[in-house]
Amino acid sequence: MFSWSYQQLDPAAARMFRLLGLQPGPDITTLAAASLAGVAPAQAGQALGQLAGAHLLTEQSPGRYGCHDLLRAYAAEQARGAEDEQARHAATGRVLDHYLHTACQAALLLTPQRDPISPGTPLAGVTTGQLTGTREALAWFDAEQQVLPAAVGLAARTGHDTHAWQLAWAMFSNLDRRGRWHELAAIQHIALAAASRLGDVAGQAVTHRLASVCHMLADYEQAHAHLTAALALYRQAGDRIGEARTHQAFNVICERQDRVGEALRHNEQALILFQAAGHQVGQAQVLNAVGWNHIRLGHPDRGQMYCRQALTLCQRLGVRLGEADSWHSLGRASYHLGQHDEAAASYDRALRIFRELGQRYREAQALEHLGDTRHASGDRPGARHAWQQALHLLEDLQHPDADLLRAKLDSEHGTTLLS
């Protein structure tokens, strides 16, 4: 059945069908298919249309095609028979270029303050997506959520190691904001092996730093090991910004382990490095983190001063996530100063931005602290409502903090029953 339909195709459609056996993931867009075959999007669209008409593909949504696993296996078999190794390798490189360059574009639309990487020049015949804003970037990542992890694996298996670690970099912010940390940790493991095979010091440093996301799964020992390796590599490369970013990451892990004094020391070192480099976004982020450290150390007035500096700088630079983080920190400072109305107002501002940016874990943190504020001001129903919203998010993210919040709710429920 497959062979008869395949033999009726014209040469361009038959070649497209064969090459689809090399595609990572279960489906493909017209632009990705154009890159895979090294042809113009219009030609790719014609070939895909013929394949859909022959029932070798299904158009799942406009411009997006998929096929049954058996058909994909048959296509791969035909590719091995009709396309030499060089042609298969070139096709794989082109489609990986499509995903890498589009993913990097989407990543910087979502998080403009990230320090970019250099993915190089796309191969001849590659068509990349042209995304114009945050909504399009989010939609693209959502549409490619099964394809991109498969692309990292394909890159690592086929000798495209640079694509492997750079794709992992590009996917990081989107997966992190959605709380897909198990997937992130697995991808970074593949990426680190790829960067190590290349002997790419910069790639290894970046990937070690990002691999510390395993702290979100409470694997603190491994996270510390990754960051220690990253710090040594950045120093070896003379990359002061990377070194500062690593100190920032150490701060996050130390904070989660209640090693707040150590966290503050890492932030102070990061601030020195960012100031020396004139890196204003980094300075804004660290000023807020220093303020948060002081709040946790019992100095909310001092913390408030740092966080206000961070807020002003983030608003001037247009760093929305940094602005939301600063409002969150200011809310916590006000809470500890007994200024409950001001705290609630700051949390509300933070929540609006976190939701706008899809930052679900940060949203959960702000909701928990809003609940604390309402509880302190005597609004127990309001507190429980905020805590329940936070718990729902944490459970959905499968985050270990859910257990602590559940215990807080259970304790409050018992207190209410006794009162």
pLDDT in tens, 129-180: 899 998 999 999 999 999 999 999 999 999 999 999 999 999 999 999 888 9
Tell me the Ramachandran region of residue 84: left when phi exceeds 0, alpha when psi lies from -120 to 50, beta otherwise: beta
What pLDDT is attached to residue 414? 60
Gap between the Cα atoms of 129 and 140, Å rounded: 9
| pLDDT surpassing 90 at residue 419 | no
What pLDDT is attached to residue 415? 55
Question: Is 70 within a domain?
Answer: yes
Residue environment code for 41-54, b if the CB has 16+ CB neighbours within 10 A, otherwise e:
bebbbbbbebbeee
Average pLDDT, the chain: 94
Residues whose CB falls within 8 Å of the CB of residue 378, separated by 6 or more in sequence, listed in order: none
Kindly report, residue by residue over 318-338, the tens digit of the pLDDT: 999 999 999 999 999 999 999
Mean pLDDT value of segment 292-304: 97
Question: Is 26 within a domain?
Answer: yes
Question: Is 34 within a domain?
Answer: yes
Percent share of the chain, pLDDT over 90: 89
Gap between the Cα atoms of 288 and 250, Å rounded: 15
Question: Is 7 within a domain?
Answer: yes
| pLDDT surpassing 60 at residue 417 | no
What pLDDT is attached to residue 23? 96
What pLDDT is attached to residue 401? 87
What pLDDT is attached to residue 418? 38
Kindly report, residue by residue over 80-89, the tens digit of the pLDDT: 999 999 999 9
Kindly report, residue by residue over 10-19, the tens digit of the pLDDT: 999 999 999 9
Gap between the Cα atoms of 202 and 210, Å rounded: 12
Residues whose CB falls within 8 Å of the CB of residue 217, separated by 6 or more in sequence, listed in order: 181, 182, 185, 400
Total domain count, the chain? 1
CATH value at residue 63? 1.10.10.10
Residue type, 175: L
Mean pLDDT value of segment 216-235: 96
Question: Is 344 within a domain?
Answer: no
List residues bridging with 28 in a β-sheet.
65
What pLDDT is attached to residue 399? 86
Residue 55 domain boundaries: 2-83
Backbone phi and psi for residue 402, each to the nearest 5 degrees, phi listed first = -60, -35
Structure tokens that stand for 10 in this block: 């014209």
Kindly report, residue by residue over 374-403, the tens digit of the pLDDT: 999 999 999 999 999 999 999 998 888 899
| pLDDT surpassing 70 at residue 55 | yes
What pLDDT is attached to residue 192? 97
What pLDDT is attached to residue 412? 78
Mean pLDDT value of segment 267-274: 97
Question: Is 309 within a domain?
Answer: no
Mean pLDDT value of segment 52-69: 94
Kindly report, residue by residue over 17-44, the tens digit of the pLDDT: 999 999 999 999 999 999 999 999 999 9
Mean pLDDT value of segment 404-418: 74
What pLDDT is attached to residue 1? 62
